[in-house]
């Protein structure tokens, strides 16, 4: 089953992409397995790549902002406390223990 990209307000701009034969064969195999045309598969793959790149960039910016906030406020989370909290949260989600209290930042020194 071929997945179609939304067409609303889309202006297609033709482009040419020269692929090594071996790569094209691999792409065709994967596209066929996914029930898609090669064209639709490549568009989806490129769109996914752009989305992941933008998410990584946003994550990096958010991380830098959080680091700046931590340095400015002096508040943060000790790694051991974070690991313990997520371990307890995992056990809670499996129904093995009550929900842990929210982790509160402490003064880092």
Specify whether 81 is located in the same domain as 42.
no
Name which of 58, 80, 78 is nearest 70 in CA terms.
78
Q: Is the pLDDT of residue 38 over 60?
A: yes
pLDDT at res. 49: 98
Specify whether 50 is located in the same domain as 86.
no
Domain span at residue 66 reads 19-73
- Neighbour-count burial of 103, counting CB atoms closer than 10 A to its CB (0-12 exposed, 13-18 middle, 19+ buried): middle
- Compute the distance between CA of residue 75 and CA of residue 78 in angstroms, rounded to an integer: 10
Angle of helix 38-73 relative to helix 21-33, nearest 10 degrees? 90
- Compute the distance between CA of residue 105 and CA of residue 11 in angstroms, rounded to an integer: 49
Specify whether 69 is located in the same domain as 83.
no
Specify whether 64 is located in the same domain as 91.
no
Tokens representing residue 99 in the block? 């929900």
Specify whether 63 is located in the same domain as 40.
yes
Banded pLDDT at 7 (limits 50, 70, 90): low
Q: Is the pLDDT of residue 5 over 80?
A: no
């Amino acid at each position: 089953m071929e997945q179609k990209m939304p067409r609303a307000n889309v202006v297609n701009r033709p482009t040419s992409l020269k692929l090594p034969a071996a790569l094209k064969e691999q792409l065709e195999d994967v596209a066929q397995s996914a029930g898609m045309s090669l064209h639709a598969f490549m568009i989806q793959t490129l769109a996914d790549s752009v989305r992941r790149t933008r998410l990584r960039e946003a994550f990096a910016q958010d991380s830098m902002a959080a680091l700046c906030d931590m340095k400015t406020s002096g508040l943060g989370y000790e790694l051991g406390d974070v690991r313990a909290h997520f371990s307890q949260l995992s056990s809670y989600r499996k129904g093995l223990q009550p929900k842990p209290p929210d982790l509160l930042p402490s003064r880092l020194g």
